[in-house]
Amino acid sequence: MPRKTEPPQPEDVSDEPTFEAALSELEAIVHQLEEGDLGLAESLARYEQGVKHLRRCYQLLKAAEQKIELLTGVDANGTAITEPFHDEDLSLEEQAGSRRRRKAGGAGQVGVEDESE
């Protein structure tokens, strides 16, 4: 009898919290630590849990960022032309400037060009 082979499954993430759940738990931990009512051992344990949730949030954000594509135009048929979003090689300041330029679009750039005349 042939054996069914299942495709390899990624790590079981069903027990991993969603971004929203991890962020909510992280906020609760920060609040508890700021209150200062916990003992040292409990504070350290909660801090370690907070770090775990923070890593999970970063992991989920990175995965979402890798799925983002930039709309660069539209072809003659009305189909979107996109390119992958890559800014991990840029500094935080360069990333912020790049995003501001993209948001400004044509209208913001026209004003800048007019001022330089």
Q: Is residue 74 in a domain? A: yes
| pLDDT at 102 exceeding the cut of 80 | no
Which residue did the predictor score with more confidence, 106 or 70? 70
CATH number at residue 27: 1.10.287
Q: Is residue 105 in a domain? A: no
Work out the pLDDT band at 75, boundaries 50, 70, 90: confident
pLDDT at 15: 79
CB 63 within 8 A of CB 57: no
* Domain carrying residue 29: 19-90
Burial (0-12, 13-18, 19+ Cβ within 10 Å), 19: middle
Q: Which of 61, 62, 57, 65 is nearest to 23 (CA)?
A: 57
pLDDT at 95: 62
Q: Is residue 72 in a domain? A: yes
| pLDDT at 97 exceeding the cut of 90 | no
Q: Is residue 48 in a domain? A: yes
Q: Is residue 13 in a domain? A: no
| pLDDT at 70 exceeding the cut of 50 | yes
Q: Is residue 115 in a domain? A: no
Q: Is residue 40 in a domain? A: yes
Q: Is residue 61 in a domain? A: yes
Total domains, the chain:
1
CB 82 within 8 A of CB 69: yes
